[in-house]
Structure 1
Amino acid sequence: MARPKLIEATLTAVEERGVTALTLDAVAEQAGVTKHGLICHFPSKHALIAGIHEELTAGFELALIEAAGGPPERASLVERTRGYVRAALSASMNVEMQLIMEAANEPEWMAPWERVYRRWFPEIGQPVRGLDEISLRCLVARMAADGPWGYGAVLPTGLSDGDRERLVRTILADLDGA
């Protein structure tokens, strides 16, 4: 059983049952493998969730590279921010949001997200009062792009593709000329 199939089964189990109901038994059942088969790849629920975060961040970084037109080293802050807004709002991310919220107090689970974010935005953590106008506008755009994750989670149907596209256009409009 390949890890990607187990990761996909885990995401499906989280989507159907929620993070709190996630068990190794539920994932094994979803993947159609024995619990022992799952444990060969992920020896614990903690390791499974850590693997999920590694997989999700790898996918998110690929989306960032595509949306920004290249890796962060070859993009300006504005280009990286535009890419972030597009990638963050490219699809419904209810499962990812649930997992990230669950990871908030678990450094090992958050580490891959921090690694990607710091790679794309190394200036993170600077006091807002010290940011120049462009850096501030980019920060506000990233924060605006993160907001729909929570907003979409409380709606019974989430945000439609059209809604997400309108939000992208509106957020990016503030970066025009930056």
Structure 2
Amino acid sequence: MRPSKRDHVLTSAIALIEEHGLNAVSLESVADRAGISKGGLMYHFPTRQALLLGIVDALAEDWERELRELAGGPADSVDADTRLRAYVLSMATSVTRAELMLTLEATQNPDLGDAWQPILARWAPDVSDTSTEAGRCRYLKMLAVEGLWLHDALDHRTMTAEQRTAMTEAILDLR
């Protein structure tokens, strides 16, 4: 499989999760969705676990790319406030079904969560930095935006774009 075919498989798998949930993901269902043979899919993803890890890795790479764009550079080239602002702006969108399902699955399948940890370590405030008021405020902003990220999945009262923007601005303005 060429890299573009691999990307197509991952996009197909994510679309399958969005439409039918994580339980719908099998090597057969993803191969069918991608329009390739099961053997072609298995060349790069020999197991369902390998496929799930590939999906998470792709989502994690996309997320870090977005964070870098929002911050104007990689995490190690910007200050803590710039990293946090990028994190808040990135997380202010509503969670997708695929992101939610994979996040929940990572609680039972820790390998799936491994892709997110280095990104969180680079971009999100650390709980160990909560001994000062400024550190607690940064951590509170992270907790607030993570709640905003999950809001529409947990509460049937979906926010409008204007409400979500207002909440994001309120989080950024916390002092």
The residue matched to 1:104 in structure 2 has which SS?
helix
Q: Structure 1 counterpart of 2:151, which letter?
A: Y
Match of 1:120 among 118, 123, 127: 123
> Please, which moves more after superposition, 67-76 or 136-145?
67-76
* Counterpart residue type for residue 128 of structure 2: Q
CA–CA separation in structure 1 for the residues paired with 2:48 and 2:163? 35
Distance in 1 (alpha carbons) for counterparts of 2:162 and 2:173? 16
Q: For 1:20, what is the secondary structure of its paired residue?
A: helix
Structure 2 partner of 1:150:
150
The equivalences for 1:20-31 within 5 A come to: 20-31=23-34
Q: What is the count of residue pairs matched by the alignment?
A: 172
* Partner amino acid, structure 1, of 2:148: P
Change (3 A) 1:171 1:125: closer
Amino acid at match of 1:124: D
Q: Deviation of residue 69 (structure 1)?
A: 1.9
Alignment of 1:1-178 (within 5 A): 1=1, 2-90=5-93, 92-121=95-124, 124-126=126-128, 128=130, 131-155=131-155, 158-175=158-175
Deviations 1:133-164 (A, max 9, x none): 11111111111111123321134585443333
Comparing 78-87 with 164-173, which one deviates more in the overlay?
164-173
Give the TM-score, by structure 1 length. 0.87
Cα shift at 1:74: 1.9
Structure 2 unmatched runs, 5+: none
Change (3 A) 1:159 1:22: farther
Identity value in percent:
28
Mean alpha-carbon deviation: is it higher for 20-29 or for 148-157?
148-157
CA positional deviation for 1:127: 7.2
Give 1:100 deviation, angstroms.
Answer: 1.2
Q: Give the drift of 1:39.
A: 0.8
Unaligned runs of 5+ in 1: none
Question: How far apart, CA to CA, are the structure 2 residues paired with 1:12 and 1:161?
Answer: 23
Structure 1, residues 26-77: CA drift from partner, whole Å, max 9, x if none? 1111111111111111001100000111111111001111112221112221
